[in-house]
């Protein structure tokens, strides 16, 4: 850490705290919120991963709670981060795509800080503006890089030469914990870059996966039959959209500057590798399978660095005697496709993209081995932290605290459906704008600019392979889901007139008839 940043953190730790304040805050939990970027739940052992092992994340599940149905309301990095901070959907917090987040908005960090918490933000911020509401922050500029990362505070910028980004974030987080004011509860947002593209692992972690063959997902060769044009038009396919940079291919000799940059962005349709000491040129299906292995080996290797980081944080809490009354959350800013439907990246409203891991250990309040399928959303995180801290949620927050769910008591009025909306069209990967509703059993997706629909039965078709929209016998179900979509859209106060104009007329009347009114 650069001296100026160290001085700032130590100075904050020396702020006076009255005895009465210390006493009144003593029972409130510390909160450590660990978030990765693009970590799919199905790459965590506790969620049944068939591709890797994550012993430290699994420990959180074993000693705390695992939620199986937590979803992003807009599956893309910057909007999800804004939703988590504000407890609001994208259209209300002002970050629908890669907009700059207005730091003057009310956030969970501001509320916890004003409520007596020592607050910190370390790692990937990615919101365009500097963090506010934090006593200490030290963040990556933009996406940041894996090796020799630059971090900056309000006072200084530091390049960590020879260091790996996950390790730096971990060290800075541990410094924050060690130097915190001892008379205050703390709230730390610890945001990792990994496993975001371009999936650059350390040599050690890369070697661990280099000889492993990663099983292909069930839907890897999905041909998109019955699906809308949107899925056919996407540009995030393992088969044809991974670049030379993604695949870590060595550039031709002599390339430099702009020529090298352009080469790295090329999407190869042939690759020559060495096999048994001989060059082999891969094309067609063999090349696609090889691309998947290269992608997954690197992706999982970066995940492994984060799992080790989680272990270091837990070890510190144990050693410092803080474990019992510290809430440790592990999640990701959204899900990610790991070859599912032949894809990488996220954005679509399909399960692998919107499902977020959500592991919480809080020994003082959560029974070990708690597991719940109650539907949670990323807009619920802020109200959850506030309730745990004994503070009221802001009136404009749209989420609902998950504390009761984590304690194994799901309220009778808990949601059984959720609203999703993705805006970035055409944007990166040519993913089409859409919104939809997911219930406990079904999903309806509307690509509103194309006026095309998809309907899935999640019980009988969990991989979302068979679009039932427009099929005979689905009329009543379709009408019911359209009514629920319209209801959830209104409830979220999403009154986009252009998008609403695309909805079928008479949805509410249909819903009333179905209810017998």
Question: Among 157-161, 281-285, 298-302, 428-432, whose mean pLDDT is lowest?
Answer: 428-432
**Edge-to-edge order in the sheet of strand 442-447:** 417-422, 434-439, 442-447, 452-457
| CA–CA gap between residue 190 and residue 34 (Å, rounded) | 5
CATH match of 3-60+73-199+293-358 with 3.40.720.10:
yes
In whole angstroms, give the CA distance from residue 82 to residue 227. 31
Per-residue pLDDT for 8 more than 50? no
**Predicted pLDDT at 14:** 39
Taking each helix axis from N to C end, the angle separating 3-13 and 165-179, rounded to the nearest 10 degrees, works out to 30
In the predicted model, is pLDDT for residue 384 greater than 90? Answer: yes
Task: Tell me the C-alpha distance between 363 and 332, whole Å.
Answer: 22
Q: Is the pLDDT of residue 510 over 80?
A: no
Residue keyed to tokens 């996950």: 166
Tokens for 452, please give them.
């095309």
- Residue in the structure block whose two tokens are 């000693």: 63
Beta bridge partners of 331: 35, 358
Q: How far is CA 167 from the centre of its chain?
A: 20
pLDDT digits (tens, 9 = 90+) for 43-70: 999 999 999 999 999 999 999 999 999 9
Q: Is the pLDDT of residue 251 over 70?
A: yes
User: Counting Cβ atoms within 10 Å, is residue 395 exposed (0-12), middle (13-18) or buried (19+)?
Assistant: exposed
Q: What is the dihedral of CA 329, 337, 124, 430, to 10 degrees?
A: -140
pLDDT tens string 313-324: 999 999 999 999
Locate the DSSP E strands across 370-491: 370-372, 376-377, 417-422, 434-439, 442-447, 452-457
**Mean pLDDT value across residues 407-422:** 97
Buried b (16+ CB within 10 A) or exposed e, 299-308: bbbbbbbbbb
Q: Which residues contact 279 (CB under 8 A, 6 or more apart)?
A: 272, 273
User: Topology of domain 433-514, per CATH?
Assistant: Arylsulfatase, C-terminal domain (3.30.1120)
Residue 331 near residue 377 (C-beta atoms within 8 A):
no
The label of the residue with tokens 């679509």 reads: 348
pLDDT tens across 173-223, in order?
A: 999 999 999 999 999 999 999 999 999 999 999 999 999 999 999 999 999
Decide if pLDDT at 498 tops 70. no
Give just the sign of the alpha carbon dihedral 331, 362, 60, 176.
Answer: positive
- The answer, yes or no, to whether residue 237 has pLDDT greater than 80, is yes
Domain boundaries, the chain: 3-60+73-199+293-358, 433-514
In the predicted model, is pLDDT for residue 6 greater than 70? Answer: no
């Amino acid at each position: 850490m650069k001296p100026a940043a160290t001085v700032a953190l130590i100075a904050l730790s020396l702020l006076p705290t009255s005895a009465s304040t210390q006493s009144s805050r003593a029972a409130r939990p510390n909160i450590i919120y660990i978030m990765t970027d693009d970590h799919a739940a199905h790459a965590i052992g506790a969620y049944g991963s068939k591709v890797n092992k994550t012993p430290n994340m699994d420990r959180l599940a074993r000693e705390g709670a695992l939620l199986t149905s937590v979803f992003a309301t807009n599956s893309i990095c910057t909007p999800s981060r804004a939703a988590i901070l504000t407890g609001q959907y994208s259209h209300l917090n002002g970050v629908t795509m890669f907009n700059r987040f207005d730091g003057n908005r009310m956030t969970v960090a501001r509320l916890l800080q004003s409520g007596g918490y020592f607050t910190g933000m370390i790692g990937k911020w990615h919101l365009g503006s500097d963090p506010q509401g934090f006593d200490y922050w030290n963040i990556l500029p933009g996406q940041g890089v894996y090796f020799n990362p630059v971090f900056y505070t309000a006072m200084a910028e530091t390049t960590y030469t020879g260091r790996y980004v996950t390790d730096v974030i971990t060290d800075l987080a541990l410094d924050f914990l060690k130097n915190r004011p001892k008379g205050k509860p703390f709230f730390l947002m610890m945001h990792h870059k990994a496993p975001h593209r371009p999936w650059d692992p350390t040599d050690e972690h890369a070697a661990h996966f280099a000889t492993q063959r990663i099983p292909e997902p069930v839907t890897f060769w999905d041909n998109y039959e019955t699906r809308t044009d949107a899925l056919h038009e996407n540009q995030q396919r393992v088969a044809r959209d991974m670049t030379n940079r993604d695949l870590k291919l060595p550039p031709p000799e002599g390339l430099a500057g702009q020529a090298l940059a352009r080469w790295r962005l090329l999407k190869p349709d042939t690759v020559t590798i060495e096999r048994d000491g001989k060059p082999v040129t891969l094309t067609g299906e063999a090349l696609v399978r090889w691309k998947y292995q290269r992608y997954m080996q690197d992706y999982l290797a970066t995940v492994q660095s984060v799992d080790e980081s989680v272990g270091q944080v837990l070890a510190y809490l144990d050693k410092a005697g803080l474990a019992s009354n510290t809430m440790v959350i592990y999640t990701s800013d959204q899900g990610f496709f790991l070859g599912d439907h032949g894809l990488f990246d996220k954005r679509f409203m399909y399960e692998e993209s919107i499902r977020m891991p959500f592991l919480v250990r809080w020994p003082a309040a959560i029974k070990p081995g708690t597991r719940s399928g109650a539907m949670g959303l990323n807009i619920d995180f802020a109200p959850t932290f506030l309730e745990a801290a004994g503070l009221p949620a802001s009136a404009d927050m749209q989420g609902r605290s998950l504390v009761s769910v984590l304690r194994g008591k799901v309220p009778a009025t808990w949601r059984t459906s959720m609203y999703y909306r993705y805006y970035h069209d055409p944007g990166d990967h040519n993913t089409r704008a859409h919104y939809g509703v997911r219930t406990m059993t079904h999903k309806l997706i509307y690509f509103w600019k194309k006026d095309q629909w998809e309907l899935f039965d999640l019980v009988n078709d969990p991989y979302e392979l068979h679009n039932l929209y427009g099929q005979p016998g689905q009329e009543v179900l379709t009408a019911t889901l359209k009514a629920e979509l319209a209801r959830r859209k209104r409830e979220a106060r999403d009154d986009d007139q252009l998008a609403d104009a695309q909805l079928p007329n008479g949805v509410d009347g249909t819903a009333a008839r179905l209810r017998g009114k």
